[in-house]
Structure 1
């Protein structure tokens, strides 16, 4: 590539980066790191093909400023933990909002498909949930305790098993994004169909209200977190297949970093959901209706507040 073409192709990005370095509050730590990586690639290219050009000095100077800024702003561990939850993760959540929306749509559509299929075909529930589970649930319904499955284990062992399983499932949903967004969508679809078939099964036995109140005690957090994990997986797959204006490697590294942070941010919510499922859901038929509703509403407010409203607030605050 001729030097003039190289400069014309990248000038706008360099100038934009230079302006942002002058006002570092405009950039998130991830954006600063990504821009720095691209800049060092450009500098290496310029040193190789245009070693005597003044552009080498310009890029070297710009890279030094960026390096100093990264080093200067390197947070202490305690500050980093706080900034992760209050700034870094919300910024990534805002930038990933359309992937979360797509994940939500896939999940809702799959729940509807599972519900309709179960209502239309009695064998579908057994196909999806398994004969053993269906027979056990039918036996519990006859005994007047349709959700007795939540009392099969002690509270602490159940908390450890349920929480570990939910975190594992969510990371599977995320990692399958490596195959492509379709890999993640497949797992979202599979989980959604199971939920839909489960609820339809209870509907057919006139127990939809009972199952909904019991399930959504913990499911509001749990299912929301799985949908968010799906969004992170779709982001991961997209970053490799459709890198946009970034080099494929840089886009993929950025997608892995952002997706992993989102997944780590979901772990506490899976732990809370596991606690509710293990210590509270087992008493679904003894808890007053108002208490059930309060727990569900608080869970919903927590999800909507932190994963939707707060990222929008942070975006507006730092870009105003």
Structure 2
């Protein structure tokens, strides 16, 4: 890419960063960090292709100034962690809404495929879920306690086991994004087909509502966060396939960093889902209104944190940090 085109493509971002650094009310380290990462990547690109240019000198000065401000006012680790979840991550996640939507659509498509396959072949559910699980569930249905599987294990053991397994799955979905996103799609497909065939199995038994009101108490967050982990894997795949103005290695590295932040953000939600599955889902006799309330609150929490709040924060930050009139 010619230097002039590189400057035109990124000038607005640099001006915004410069304006933020020159603001009389000192910006927070987290506000600086978000843009500092991007400017550092631009500096690396400029040093590679325009090593002795004015653009490289300008970006080097901009990055050095930001580095001083960030580390001069660096926060304590506890405060830093809170800031990551409240501001830094949601602000960055705004850029990945398309990957989130794609992950959701992929999951829903294969969930429908799973349900359709189960409807056309009675043996499909056994192939996906296993004979042991299907036979156990049929026995529970015969004993008039179809959701008894959630009562088999001790509460704390179930909470810990489910939480650790879900976190493991989310990291696997993210990590497999290194195969150009194909590995991520494959794991999403597996989980979605399993869910679709599982729900159809209960529908066939005349227990769709009974299963849904019970399973989705924890499943609303659990399934949502697997989709979000899928978003992380797709971000990695996008970084590899579509480097844009960066080298493929730089773009891939940026994708890994962004994807890792996404998957790290899911850990608290998996803990919540594990708690619900270990301690709440087993209460199969709870009234419908309470189950619906828990499911609705869980869905609202996910939508707020991963969809509405990032949009709100992005618009607010852009409004408060309009670039001034400077020249590059």
Task: Give ranges in structure 2 of 5+ residues lacking alignment.
Answer: 21-26, 320-328
The answer to whether the 8 Å contact 2:39/2:63 transfers is no
TM-score normalised by length of structure 1: 0.90
Task: Name the structure 2 match of 1:20.
Answer: 16
CA gap 1:122/1:83 in 2 versus in 1, 3 angstroms:
same
CA gap 1:222/1:55 in 2 versus in 1, 3 angstroms:
closer
Q: Give, in whole Å, the separation in 1 of the partners of 2:50 and 2:156.
A: 60
The answer to whether the 8 Å contact 2:3/2:50 transfers is no
Task: Name the structure 1 match of 2:324.
Answer: none
Task: Name the structure 2 match of 1:33.
Answer: 37
- 1:63 deviates by 4.0
Q: Give, in whole Å, the separation in 1 of the partners of 2:42 and 2:262.
A: 23
The answer to whether the 8 Å contact 1:177/1:183 transfers is yes
- 1:108 deviates by 0.7
2:258 paired with 1:254: no
Deviates more, 1:70-79 or 1:258-267: 70-79
- 1:59 deviates by 5.0
Q: Give, in whole Å, the separation in 2 of the partners of 1:211 and 1:240.
A: 40
Task: Give ranges in structure 1 of 5+ residues lacking alignment.
Answer: none
Q: Give, in whole Å, the separation in 2 of the partners of 1:44 and 1:65.
A: 21
- 1:9 deviates by 4.4
Task: Name the structure 1 match of 2:143.
Answer: 143
Q: Give, in whole Å, the separation in 2 of the partners of 1:118 and 1:15.
A: 54
Task: Name the structure 2 match of 1:10.
Answer: 6
Q: Give, in whole Å, the separation in 1 of the partners of 2:13 and 2:95.
A: 19
The answer to whether the 8 Å contact 2:32/2:70 transfers is no
Task: Name the structure 1 match of 2:305.
Answer: 306
Q: Give, in whole Å, the separation in 2 of the partners of 1:57 and 1:175.
A: 36
CA gap 1:297/1:63 in 2 versus in 1, 3 angstroms:
closer
Q: Give, in whole Å, the separation in 2 of the partners of 1:184 and 1:293.
A: 31
The answer to whether the 8 Å contact 2:32/2:66 transfers is no
- 1:41 deviates by 4.7
Q: Give, in whole Å, the separation in 1 of the partners of 2:254 and 2:130.
A: 40
CA gap 1:182/1:19 in 2 versus in 1, 3 angstroms:
same
CA gap 1:15/1:115 in 2 versus in 1, 3 angstroms:
closer
2:208 paired with 1:212: no
The answer to whether the 8 Å contact 1:28/1:88 transfers is no
Deviates more, 1:5-14 or 1:151-160: 5-14
Q: Give, in whole Å, the separation in 1 of the partners of 2:74 and 2:250.
A: 21
- 1:174 deviates by 1.2
The answer to whether the 8 Å contact 1:28/1:91 transfers is no
Deviates more, 1:38-47 or 1:132-141: 38-47
Task: Name the structure 2 match of 1:199.
Answer: 199
TM-score normalised by length of structure 2: 0.88
Q: Give, in whole Å, the separation in 1 of the partners of 2:227 and 2:263.
A: 11
The answer to whether the 8 Å contact 1:173/1:229 transfers is yes
Q: Give, in whole Å, the separation in 2 of the partners of 1:189 and 1:101.
A: 15
The within-5 A match list for 1:108-127 is 108-127=108-127
Deviates more, 1:149-158 or 1:38-47: 38-47
1:160-215 Cα shifts (integer Å, max 9, x gaps): 11111111111111111111222111111110000010011111110111100110
Q: Give, in whole Å, the separation in 2 of the partners of 1:141 and 1:62.
A: 66
CA RMSD across the alignment:
2.2
- 1:40 deviates by 4.2
The within-5 A match list for 1:289-300 is 289-300=288-299
- 1:256 deviates by 1.1
Aligned length: 311
